[in-house]
Structure 1
Amino acid sequence: MTQTASIAAHPNMSHWQERVDLAAAFRWTERLNFHEAVANHFSFAVNEDGTRFLMNPNQMHFRRIKASDLLLLDANDPDTLDMPGAPDPTAWGLHGSIHRRCPHHRCAMHVHSIHATVLASLADSTLPPIDQNTATFFNRYVVDEHFGGLAFEDEGERCAAALQDPKKKVMIMGNHGVMVLGDSVADTFNRLYYFERAAETYIRALQTGRPLRVLSDDIAEKTARELEDYPGQAERHMAELKAILDEEGSNYSS
């Protein structure tokens, strides 16, 4: 279905482009095996203060999620979990807290992808800059070392409190997984993709047992800034992924 036809088919559904991009992100996250069964959640804030946001339905497999399936939630509504079709309570606890407390983070993607979770399980979960991908995240992540169980509301509030710096767009959630943040769906998914690649490079380098060639702080920061300023990569990445889905006849945009 073309984008024009997709919009025409859902004239009363708001934030359609963001829905389509999120649906594509869900489909590719599953294809890359970054998902975990029917767990994990993505969200995107649709108003200026971040309190109204789109999120995936409760325990629906990423491979099946369509744009029209996404929930539109109000982070300030205390009755959200009592409504029909309520979101997963851990998704609500974590993403609701982030969107209430961190309006500077428009999009939030939480996964238990293998290499990011291995990194989060190490006693030292820092990611040293040993190549271009790992340098991307130099001084741009936080490590949460105080895992408190499933991310119900109290745990979500605790995590959100550690994400107040707009520059820190990844949380390595110790003993848990990773939370990736961004300004748009494309920006966030691109960051999620590269963080998993960076974590894989580091974990595989550790497996050799040989000394690591770590970049200097100056070169790591320079590389991170150059990649941040690189024009249009995230948008082109997302556009190409949607083009592939469209060529395959996927129903993600319906």
Structure 2
Amino acid sequence: MSSLVLFPEGGYTGGDSISKHKDLAASSTTSLHPQQPPVPSLSPGVNGSISLGKTKAGLDLKIRSYPQFATLQEERHYRKTHLAAAFRIFAERGYDEGVAGHISVRDPILTDHFWLNPLSMHFAQIRVSDLILVDEEGRIVEGNEPINTAAFTIHSAIHRARPDVHAACHAHSVHGKAFSVFGRELDMITQDSLRFYKSHGVYRHFGGVVVDADEGARIAGALGGGKAVILQNHGLLTVGGSVDEAAFWFMSMDRTCHAQLLADAAAAGSGCEKKLIDEDECEHSARSVGGPEKGWLAFQPYYDDILARTKGDFLG
């Protein structure tokens, strides 16, 4: 079975299900053990993914994928609802700090405009109706609250430099800003860290609150064509082809920073050497865990959970 799904960038990913069964049981009639059932051989799909989607009854189960929309208005609504959900999820993880932190999503109709959070509203209270639409000059097109100047400076530079990016996340998460003080990239020491293999950069400068357009452009330059950038002495910034993808990369990167801080501390205290993942394995495994469709899909359980627990409060 091959399941074919469309994701935001228009690329396809396939997942091959169980291939031909291979009977590995011994054929000897003198064996004291009953013959074992055939062991399935898992066939890697596109980009090394493995999906099991064939039922015993022969039905092909489809992988959840970024939806297709009948109108751009429908897609705008989808992007805004998932943006509001991302703020609620970030709040639960403690990524809020005063009025710092922001997530943006590009508008699918006015493509040089993007939606942001209001300046003084806590992440945990944001609803769809609270979101602010801002144009390329920083003027508010929809909404009744001011926006964070740094938010516009950073996000406008990224959306301008990266037409493929539809969303960006920045917050002062504890583990992200703790790791940022080293001004270095993550080590490839865990499977999860491979999501950022050769796809994240470091902005090795701190110039205070980002209110200068040139500073925003330099941050976009440090991001390059990647999915994340570590802002030295500041925090993390992630991007994606959907707000779901960008938000999951942020969550994963913050936890990866946490894991490395723990590993580095343990190594320093014990004298044990960290084992880095081999370069060849990094290349192979990064394709399995770091694609845009993987980021989008990984966010869906969090969206489902916040939707159920809040009874859709953020949709208002």
1:217 maps to what in 2?
279
Percent identity, aligned pairs only? Answer: 27
8 Å CA contact 1:23–1:66 kept in 2: the answer is: yes
2:255 maps to what in 1?
197
**Counterpart among 84, 97, 100 of residue 157 in structure 2:** 97
**Counterpart among 208, 212, 222 of residue 149 in structure 1:** 208
The alpha-carbon distance between structure 1 residues 215 and 42, as it changes in their structure 2 partners (threshold 3 A), is: same
**Is 2:88 the counterpart of 1:51?**
no
Q: 1:153 offset after TM fit, Å?
A: 3.0
Q: 1:110 offset after TM fit, Å?
A: 0.3
**Is 2:187 the counterpart of 1:128?**
yes
The alpha-carbon distance between structure 1 residues 78 and 247, as it changes in their structure 2 partners (threshold 3 A), is: closer
* Amino acid paired to 2:210: A
Q: Which whole-Å CA distance do the structure 1 matches of 2:315 and 2:79 have between them?
A: 10
Alignment of 1:1-254 (within 5 A): 15-47=76-108, 50-75=111-136, 77=137, 79=139, 85-122=145-182, 124-154=183-213, 155-165=215-225, 168-208=226-266, 209=268, 210-229=272-291, 233-248=294-309, 249-254=311-316
Q: Which whole-Å CA distance do the structure 2 matches of 1:180 and 1:99 have between them?
A: 12
Q: Give per-residue Cα distances to partners, 1:137-169, cap 9 Å, x unaligned.
A: 11110100022111113321221233332xx11
Q: Give per-residue Cα distances to partners, 1:176-213, cap 9 Å, x unaligned.
A: 10110101011111111111111111000011123211
The alpha-carbon distance between structure 1 residues 238 and 216, as it changes in their structure 2 partners (threshold 3 A), is: closer
Task: Show structure 1 runs of 5+ residues with no match.
Answer: 1-11
**Number of residues paired by the alignment?**
237
Two-structure CA RMSD over aligned residues (Å)? 2.4
Q: 1:62 offset after TM fit, Å?
A: 0.3
Q: Which whole-Å CA distance do the structure 1 matches of 2:281 and 2:160 have between them?
A: 36
8 Å CA contact 2:168–2:237 kept in 1: the answer is: yes
8 Å CA contact 2:242–2:296 kept in 1: the answer is: no
Q: 1:252 offset after TM fit, Å?
A: 0.8
* Amino acid paired to 1:73: V
Q: TM-score, normalised by structure 1?
A: 0.85
Partner SS state of residue 252, structure 1: helix
Q: 1:84 offset after TM fit, Å?
A: 5.9
Q: Which whole-Å CA distance do the structure 2 matches of 1:88 and 1:78 have between them?
A: 10
* Amino acid paired to 2:231: M
More helix by share: 1
The alpha-carbon distance between structure 1 residues 163 and 186, as it changes in their structure 2 partners (threshold 3 A), is: same
The alpha-carbon distance between structure 1 residues 95 and 203, as it changes in their structure 2 partners (threshold 3 A), is: same
8 Å CA contact 1:53–1:72 kept in 2: the answer is: yes
Q: Which whole-Å CA distance do the structure 2 matches of 1:229 and 1:180 have between them?
A: 14
Q: Which whole-Å CA distance do the structure 2 matches of 1:128 and 1:163 have between them?
A: 17
Q: 1:238 offset after TM fit, Å?
A: 3.2
Partner SS state of residue 72, structure 1: strand
